[in-house]
Structure 1
Amino acid sequence: MSKLQELFKKYGKIGIGVHLSIYAATLAERDVQADANPEERSWLAKALTSSGSSFAVAFLCTKALLPVRVPLTIGITPVVAR
């Protein structure tokens, strides 16, 4: 995390913009197409495909990807800054 803070000090708004762009890209979710007959789905399938739970799962996955996002931000920011 200290490298990320140093990156933000050096590149400022560009570093923050790159990090937020990567964050938004990992958080973006794709809607699941509805089944032909949604009444036949189980209660668990209905709960997991509702819009609120889809966002919650996407948010948790995004948080879990922090160890991937930070090195990616550190590697991409100098290239974007040029």
Structure 2
Amino acid sequence: MATGGRLRELMKKYGKVALGVHLSVSAASITGLYLAIKNNVDVESMLERAGLPGIGRPQTPKHQENKEKLYNDDLIEEEPVLAQKGEKNRTAELAASTGGALAVAILLNKALFPVRVPITLALTPPISRFLARRNILKNHV
């Protein structure tokens, strides 16, 4: 079943709890992305290294060379990619051109929907059980 279908099924079963969990995960995602963009972390290249597509940069041979340098001697660079003082990263350029870091954080959050859904699917049942045990949730599953 597709992630959208599983999310729809979860919403039917858990209702408000599933919606609350999903909105909380989304809020945490937007907040983290916003802080990363404001701190000049090149979020786009981090997403590319994680295997997720970027937000509009075509992959050029020069970019491929830079990728090969990252994996030199089978070591992966673990530190966040920060832009050098003289150069502006693509995420910072988008934040400046589209009206701010919040707008870019929301767009990146939309792109991360396939990552957020499994998190919601995993967190909703235990949170629902916790709320039912504390008698916070009246009609528990």
User: Hey, what does 1:61 align to over in structure 2?
Assistant: 108
Whole-angstrom CA distance in 2 between matches of 1:17 and 1:48: 28
Whole-angstrom CA distance in 2 between matches of 1:79 and 1:32: 34
> What is the TM-score of this pair, normalised by structure 1?
0.74
Matches within 5 A, 1:31-50: 31-32=38-39, 48=95
Greater radius of gyration (CA): 2
More helix by share: 1
Residue identity over aligned pairs, in percent, reads 47
> What is the TM-score of this pair, normalised by structure 2?
0.45
Matches within 5 A, 1:1-82: 1-28=4-31, 29-30=34-35, 31-32=38-39, 48=95, 52-82=99-129
Q: Aligned pair count? A: 74
One-letter amino acid matched to 1:81: S
Whole-angstrom CA distance in 2 between matches of 1:15 and 1:68: 16
- Describe the SS at the equivalent of 1:78: helix
**Unaligned runs of at least 5 residues, structure 1:** 34-40
Whole-angstrom CA distance in 1 between matches of 2:106 and 2:121: 22
**Unaligned runs of at least 5 residues, structure 2:** 41-85, 130-141
